[in-house]
């Protein structure tokens, strides 16, 4: 059999700084949003995305030419990029928005990613330098919108594989076999590159960032861009009317015996 020709892959991993999942969310007094003066970390699904890119590199070695992390966010998002770099991304792009700006919406994020891909691919010196795989979280745990990946695939006209729990790349055939999480099991789909993949929880378990890698990360390049550079308007299209906490659960009561239980159920019209 003839060995398949060696192809190179360039991966883009969008990551988001989000309120850490262990934090108890509190609605702000104005009921316009949540108290954000709490611990943040990388959106867990994005951490899985970075991990997957790094694992692909470990498996396919030099065929994975580059892993770029990108984030759109305020100055503190730099921490999130540093984490991505410490986990194994080669370089990063920070599209910086003002610290006071509202969190960008999925369509604006997807357009930004498109703009970055188009720009990088236009600058690329050859096919082997073009971004052809985007791996991102299926949703961010702060707004839970879960549409950025799909919008990006739509805007680019690329294949998409959402809720991935397993990835197998065949760089020779320029194909990826993806197992998707669906109700009641998994679905296998074969996608042509270029491709957008969104990650599900079971795809992998992200590693700890080791000290040597954290130190190396400090020296990796981070490119800064402005909203103007990417030509995207981040003004929200959605209006938040009101944010409120779910009603607190009223505690149950104890009954002494079955008769009392039946009586109570009857009172409540349930029996």
Partner 1 sequence: MLVSRSCAKRLLASAGRAARYSSTGTSQLNSVTEQDIEYFSKILPKTSIISTLAPISSPSDELNSFNSDWMGRFHGRSTTVLKPKTTRQVSEILKWCNERRIGVVPQGGNTGLVGGSVPVHDEVIISLSNMNNVRNYDPVSGVLVADAGCILQSLTDYVAPHNHIMPIDLGAKGSCHIGGNVATNAGGLRLLRYGSLHGSVLGLEVVLPDGSILDQLTTLRKDNTGYDLKQLFIGAEGTLGVITGVSILTPPQPQASNNVILSLPSFDNVLPLYQTVKRQLSEILSAFEFIDRTAYNLAVKHGQGRALPESETVGAECFILVETSGGRREHDSEKLLDLLESLLGADKPLINSGVLSQSPAEFSSLWALREGVTEAVSKEGKAYKYDISVPLASFKQVVDDTREHLRSKGLLHDKAVKYVLGYGHVGDGNLHLNIVADAYLPEITDALEPYIYEVVASHRGSISAEHGIGAMKTHALHYSKSDVSIELMKKIKAVFDPKGIMNPGKVLE
In the complex, the residues that contact partner 1 under the rule CB under 8 A are 20-23, 39, 41-42, 83, 86, 205, 207-212, 214-215, 218
Calpha distance 139→218 (Å, rounded): 28
- Closest approach of partner 1 to the CB of residue 39, in Å: 5
Is the CB of 58 or the CB of 188 nearer to partner 1?
A: 58
Helix runs in 61-167, H state only: 77-87, 106-123, 148-156
For the record, the structure tokens of 236 come out as 């929200």
Q: Which is nearer to partner 1, 16 or 180 (CB)?
A: 16
Question: Helix crossing, 106-123 with 148-156: angle to 10°?
Answer: 40
Q: How far is the CB of 47 from partner 1 (least distance, A)?
A: 8
Q: Which residues contact 268 (CB under 8 A, 6 or more apart)?
A: none
Do residues 174 and 7 touch, judged by C-beta distance below 8 A? yes
Nearest to partner 1 of 9, 50 (CB atom): 50
Residue nearer to partner 1 on the CB measure, 83 or 179: 83
d(C-alpha 47, C-alpha 44), whole Å? 5
* 32 vs 42: CA distance, rounded Å: 23
DSSP reduced 3-state for 217: helix
The nearer residue to partner 1, 27 or 189, going by C-beta atoms, is 27
Nearer to partner 1, 136 or 217 (CB): 217
**Smallest separation, CB 140 to partner 1 (Å):** 14
Write down the least CB distance from residue 231 to partner 1, Å.
32
CA dihedral 55, 56, 57, 62 (to 10 degrees): 160
Smallest distance, partner 1 to C-beta of residue 210, A: 5
Smallest distance from partner 1 to CB 246, Å: 18
- Measure Cα distances from 211 to 53, 66, 83, 126 in Å: 20, 22, 11, 35
Please tell me the distance from the alpha carbon of residue 171 to that of residue 8, in angstroms, as a whole number. 7
* Residue 183 to residue 189: CA distance in whole angstroms: 15
Q: Identify which of residues 21 and 182 has a Cβ nearer to partner 1 in the complex.
A: 21
In the complex, least distance from residue 205 CB atom to partner 1, rounded to whole angstroms:
8
């Amino acid at each position: 059999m003839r060995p398949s020709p060696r192809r190179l892959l360039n991966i883009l991993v969008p990551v988001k700084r989000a309120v850490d999942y262990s934090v108890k969310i509190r609605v702000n007094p104005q009921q316009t949003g949540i108290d954000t003066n709490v611990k943040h970390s990388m959106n867990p699904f994005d951490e899985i995305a970075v991990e997957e890119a790094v694992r692909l590199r470990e498996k396919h070695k030099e065929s994975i030419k580059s892993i770029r992390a990108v984030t759109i966010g305020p100055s503190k998002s730099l921490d999130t990029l540093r984490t991505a770099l410490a986990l194994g991304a080669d370089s990063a792009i920070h599209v910086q928005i003002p610290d006071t700006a509202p969190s960008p919406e999925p369509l604006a994020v997807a357009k930004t990613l498109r703009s970055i891909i188009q720009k990088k691919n236009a600058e690329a010196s050859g096919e082997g330098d073009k971004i052809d795989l985007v791996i991102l979280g299926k949703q961010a745990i702060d707004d839970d919108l879960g549409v950025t990946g799909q919008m990006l695939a739509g805007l680019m006209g690329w294949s998409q594989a959402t809720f991935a729990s397993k990835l197998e790349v065949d760089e020779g055939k320029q194909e990826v076999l993806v197992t998707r999480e669906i109700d009641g099991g998994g679905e296998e789909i074969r996608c042509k590159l270029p491709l957008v993949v969104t990650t599900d929880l079971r795809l992998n378990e992200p590693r700890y960032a080791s000290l040597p890698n954290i130190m190396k990360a400090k020296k990796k390049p981070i490119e800064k861009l402005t909203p103007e550079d990417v030509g995207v308007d981040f003004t929200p299209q959605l209006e938040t009317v009101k944010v409120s906490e779910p009603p607190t659960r009223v505690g149950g009561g104890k009954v002494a015996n079955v008769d009392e239980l039946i009586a109570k159920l009857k009172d409540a019209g349930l029996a």
